[in-house]
Amino acid sequence: MGNRAFTAEQIVNLLKNPNVIKCSSKSIGYAPEFKVYAVTQYHQGLSAPAIFRAAGFNLRLIGKYKPKNCLRDWREVFSTKGAVGLQVENRGKTKGKGKGRTKTKGLTDQEKIQRLEAHVAYLKAENDFLAKLRAQRRE
């Protein structure tokens, strides 16, 4: 959405739309049923802006490119997980790329030392590997 921020009045108007389940000054949460409906309509040939306009959204308010971007994301989820994937809140998930950063808050001093020792060992192994690669290039 960029730098767009919704005013309190705009939020109230957006929440009146049955296809909106939550709304803040920076984002809109769409109803899962609407997501599935929008994807199926898109596959039947309707354009993203037309689907959002028919659902009662003001494109000047939500943004010119918002329908296209939402449908791109929803189609990706729909193609991999089906309609069930659109039923759950997926925001903030890592999409199968792991579990994110490891947690370092609340570690004891001994645990911190162990983590740092492991990191140093990794870096030493990496340096050894790179040195071997450089040696092979020189040959």
pLDDT digits (tens, 9 = 90+) for 12-62: 999 999 999 999 999 999 999 999 999 999 999 999 999 999 999 999 999
**What confidence category does residue 1 fall into, taking pLDDT thresholds of 50, 70 and 90?**
very low
pLDDT of amino acid 62: 92
pLDDT digits (tens, 9 = 90+) for 110-131: 999 999 999 999 999 999 999 9
Beta strands in the chain, from DSSP E residues, in sequence order: 20-23, 28-30
Task: Tell me the two tokens of residue 30.
Answer: 């769409």
**Do residues 1 and 66 lie in contact, with contact meaning Cβ atoms separated by under 8 Å?**
yes
**Do residues 71 and 51 lie in contact, with contact meaning Cβ atoms separated by under 8 Å?**
yes
